[in-house]
Amino acid sequence: MYGLIGKILCTPGQRDTLTAILAHGTTGMPGCISYVIAHDAADSDAIWVTEVWDSQHSHQASLALPSVQAAIAKARPLIAGFGERVETLPVAGPGLPAPGLPD
Amino acid sequence: MYGLIGKILCTPGQRDTLTAILAHGTTGMPGCISYVIAHDAADSDAIWVTEVWDSQHSHQASLALPSVQAAIAKARPLIAGFGERVETLPVAGPGLPAPGLPD
């Protein structure tokens, strides 16, 4: 698996609009296991996205999907910048494939 | 919904053991919608946890579950500290309840 955790900084007042664009643009992406969009409770202009993919390749390929390209084009003017961006290796959790962890 | 994104810093070499404790101790928690445990790709002693709950109350109540209490007791000696901790309002994503976003 491959994962990303990232913070998106919206232009002021545009968080709900950007959230809707992200939510509509990220459905049905092949290889996407989980994609949680969450509002920062302490920063009214920040969105956190936690992504889980079956592989880094699937994530990379998603960026070329027409639906994702359209979402990026609509989202770009509403993005003021980015905060943290962490690449991860998701290992366990409800909804993820069984990890084969030691007992 | 209620969410948390947090970074756990493990004592050196203990990440796999701590991951297994977390994975075993966090199954079947009432009100837990998603709980993704992920290893930081750039820091071999860091774990990121992204949690989605139906309410803040369910998260709070989970801390009193015997399974969670046991996991906390086992995990504590393996935790060197904590990094980022972000409270969130999860709003959309596969596996989450329909958000009723604007079109």
Domains of chain B, by residue range, sit at 2-82
- Alpha carbon distance B33, B16 (integer Å): 24
B10-49 pLDDT per residue, tens: 999 999 999 999 999 998 899 999 999 999 999 999 999 9
- Alpha carbon distance A99, B16 (integer Å): 11
Does residue B89 sit at the A interface (CB-CB below 8 Å)? yes
pLDDT of A21 reads 95
B15 and A101 Cβ atoms separated by less than 8 Å = no
- Alpha carbon distance B64, B84 (integer Å): 23
Range A2-88 has CATH code 3.30.70.100: yes
Q: Out of B4-13, B18-27, B85-94, give the one with best mean pLDDT.
A: B4-13
B2-82 belongs to which CATH class? Answer: alpha beta
Cβ contact A34–B101 (<8 Å): no
- Alpha carbon distance A79, A74 (integer Å): 10
How far does the CA of residue A42 sit from the closest CA of chain B (Å)?
7
A17 and A74 Cβ atoms separated by less than 8 Å = no
Nearest residue of A to residue B103 by CA position?
A: A20
Cβ contact B36–A103 (<8 Å): no
* Residues B44-56, mean pLDDT to the nearest whole number: 96
- A41 contacts in B (CB within 8 Å)? 86-89
Beta-strand runs (E) in chain B: 2-10, 32-40, 46-53, 79-92
Does residue A100 sit at the B interface (CB-CB below 8 Å)? no
ipTM: 0.90
Cβ contact B94–A34 (<8 Å): yes
pLDDT tens across the length of chain A (103 residues): 999 999 999 999 999 999 999 999 998 899 999 999 999 999 999 999 999 999 999 999 999 999 999 999 999 999 999 999 999 999 987 667 765 454 4
Q: Which of B16, B40, B96 sits opposite A36 (nearest CB)?
A: B96
In a mutagenesis test of the A interface, which of B88, B89, B96, B103 is the best target, namely the one with the most A β-carbons within 10 Å?
Answer: B88
- A52 contacts in B (CB within 8 Å)? 36, 38
Q: Tell me what the pLDDT averaged over chain A comes to.
A: 92
How far does the CA of residue A64 sit from the closest CA of chain B (Å)?
20
Nearest residue of B to residue A6 by CA position?
A: B5
